[in-house]
């Protein structure tokens, strides 16, 4: 059974950092593009970042470019999102998702990130 389990969310002040993790099971992330998508009440679902199966290619939404870094450890079957210089507007529920065919066919349950002073 395919499962994605996010962790690492929390509450930090503006300018702070967090590192999100997404542990995958039931499949091998080295065979798939993997993504982070966030959801906030005002803007709905917003794509954040993606990484190629072997980690050689990444891309980011303009709103997080230069502040977030996506990575993966294929040996641990885990996806990461390093978030620096956090802003209030980064407050959201962060999902990791698997890309297949090419849509998001599996999602995790999400981890909450709250940025406030």
Among the listed residues 37, 79, 62, the one whose alpha carbon sits nearest the alpha carbon of residue 70: 79
* Total residues at interface with other proteins (CB under 8 A): 17
**Interaction mask 24-63, other proteins, x per CB under 8 A:** -------------------xxxxx-----------x-x--
- Nearest residue (CB) to other proteins, 44 versus 116: 44
- Nearest residue (CB) to other proteins, 44 versus 75: 44
Among the listed residues 87, 75, 71, 85, the one whose alpha carbon sits nearest the alpha carbon of residue 21: 71
Which residues 57-116 are close enough to bind other proteins by CB under 8 A?
Answer: 59, 61, 95, 101-105, 107-110
Strands (E), 1-117: 3-7, 10-12, 18-25, 34-40, 44-51, 58-60, 68-73, 78-83, 92-100, 103-107, 111-115
Judged by the rule CB under 8 A, the positions of this chain that interact with other proteins are 43-47, 59, 61, 95, 101-105, 107-110
């Amino acid at each position: 059974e395919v499962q994605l389990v996010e962790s690492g969310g929390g509450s930090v002040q503006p300018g702070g950092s967090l590192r999100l993790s997404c542990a995958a099971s039931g499949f091998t992330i080295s065979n798939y593009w993997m993504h982070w998508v966030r959801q906030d009440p005002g803007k709905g679902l917003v794509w954040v970042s993606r990484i190629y199966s072997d980690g050689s290619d990444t891309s980011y939404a303009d709103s997080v470019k230069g502040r977030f870094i996506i990575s993966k450890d294929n040996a641990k079957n885990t996806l990461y999102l390093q978030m620096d210089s956090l802003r209030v507007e980064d407050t959201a529920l962060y999902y990791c998702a698997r890309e297949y065919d090419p849509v998001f066919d599996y999602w995790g349950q999400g981890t909450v990130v709250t940025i406030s002073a």
